[in-house]
Structure 1
Amino acid sequence: MNSAVKRVVCVSAALLLSVAGLASAATAVDAPDPTSTTAGTVPGAAAEDAAPQPTLSAEASVESVEAWEEFRVQGASTHLPAGTRVTLQQLQNEKWVGLPIHVNTTDAHTYSVRVKLGVKGLGHIRMVGGGAVSNTVQITVR
């Protein structure tokens, strides 16, 4: 190896070691001790100051329907502004898939939407919107 290549290899190795050393030093310094508290702070204060989490509830008007028979899904929201768009999702092949069924929440923080499902068998649906996910509702489609 000529001397220019040796210098480049040595400089590269030195840079890698210094970057690795900085990363490990930053990790050690940045990790706070979860059991200690600092003066002037109250444990749990951050949890109280955090905004409440939005929620959605969902229930179906029936437990069982014929394929493509209309039924309703209705529910309520908390900590979501009125007019928040909520979307129906269906569990398909172990993945939640958004269906083209949307509705906005009312001023009373409720919603109601008409639904028709065509996939026969036990179906699972839920509503999502505004960062909230509702409970899962089971519908048997005959």
Structure 2
Amino acid sequence: MNRAYRLAISGALTAGLVAGGAAGAFAATPAPAKAVATQKAAAKPAPKPALTAQASTKTVKAWQEFRVTGKATGIKPGTTVALQQQKGTKWTTLPAKVTVNKNATYSMRVKLGIKGKNNLRVAGGGAVSAPFTVTVR
């Protein structure tokens, strides 16, 4: 370490101790640039899990097959998502399940037999889609 550098550091420490104690001395020295960059990168939050869902049709005959497709945001590929049906105030998971693909999308084939309006949604990976309706005639 050269003499000029040692004198500059001791001068900064002395000035810091005179001005505000030991805490002031260390606060006066700047943080390394690499540590600041790491703190900024670590502060960035992960995207909140979210799902979209839509049916290929709004009306079907009983037991007629249709598709439910959507996009997954903030959910890892390979995560299972399942179709849910509203019964009263509760949501029941149906046996229609698929995994999210590497493009962050999914597509499942569905058959419903309960006639009337069916409120449906997709859930998985800590997210739930907005409800949508399919009418069975």
Normalising by structure 1, report the TM-score: 0.65
Structure 1 stretches (4+) deviating beyond 4 angstroms? Answer: none
In the other structure, the counterpart of 2:57 is 62
Give the match's secondary structure for 2:85.
strand
TM-superposed CA distance for 1:51, in Å, is: 2.8
| Deviation readout 1:77-110 (Å, 9 max, x if unpaired) | 0011111100110001221000111100000000
TM-superposed CA distance for 1:52, in Å, is: 2.1
Alignment of 1:33-112 (within 5 A): 49-112=44-107
TM-superposed CA distance for 1:54, in Å, is: 0.4
TM-superposed CA distance for 1:67, in Å, is: 0.7
Q: Which amino acid counterpart does residue 70 of structure 1 have in structure 2?
A: E
Q: Which has the larger radius of gyration?
A: 2
> How many residues were matched structurally?
96
Cα distance in structure 1, aligned partners of 2:99 and 2:44: 28
Alignment of 1:109-128 (within 5 A): 109-128=104-123
Q: Which amino acid counterpart does residue 124 of structure 2 have in structure 1?
A: G
In the other structure, the counterpart of 2:32 is none
Cα distance in structure 2, aligned partners of 1:112 and 1:119: 22
Give the match's secondary structure for 1:127.
strand
Normalising by structure 2, report the TM-score: 0.67
TM-superposed CA distance for 1:49, in Å, is: 4.4
